[in-house]
Amino acid sequence: MPIRSVVLISQGPLSWTSEVENISATGVLVLRPAGWHGAPGDTCVLDLLLGEELHINLEACVVRLSADHIGFEYTRIPENKEAELWSLLGRHADDVAG
């Protein structure tokens, strides 16, 4: 699902802000922030701010890198946020189908 949203990427004591370009049920694609030096397999904490009311904090693993993007796969989504994420994705699927 294409989306424009803010994300805070944390890796140990380091953190970067960036933008989400695409989100799915399995992961998220973000713009690669300046100064970010991760590698595939690295685990990060992502704070996703989706719209005005949805804030999801989750763990994700780097699965894809390019000069401009980082592809993350979710490794842990808090139980209390799963339904909100699936609802967001479901609304988008309904809009595309309708």
pLDDT tens-digit map of 51-89: 777 788 999 999 999 999 999 999 998 888 777 777 777
Closest CA to 70 of 79, 62, 61: 62
83: which residues sit within 8 A by CB, 6+ positions away?
Answer: none
Say what percent of the chain tops pLDDT 70.
86
Is the confidence at residue 91, as pLDDT, over 70?
no
Q: How far apart are CA 44 and CA 8, in angstroms?
A: 10
Q: How far apart are CA 83 and CA 88, in angstroms?
A: 9
pLDDT tens-digit map of 13-26: 999 999 999 888 89
Domains of the chain: 2-97 (2.40.10.220)
The model's pTM is 0.84
Query: What pLDDT shows up at residue 58?
Result: 92
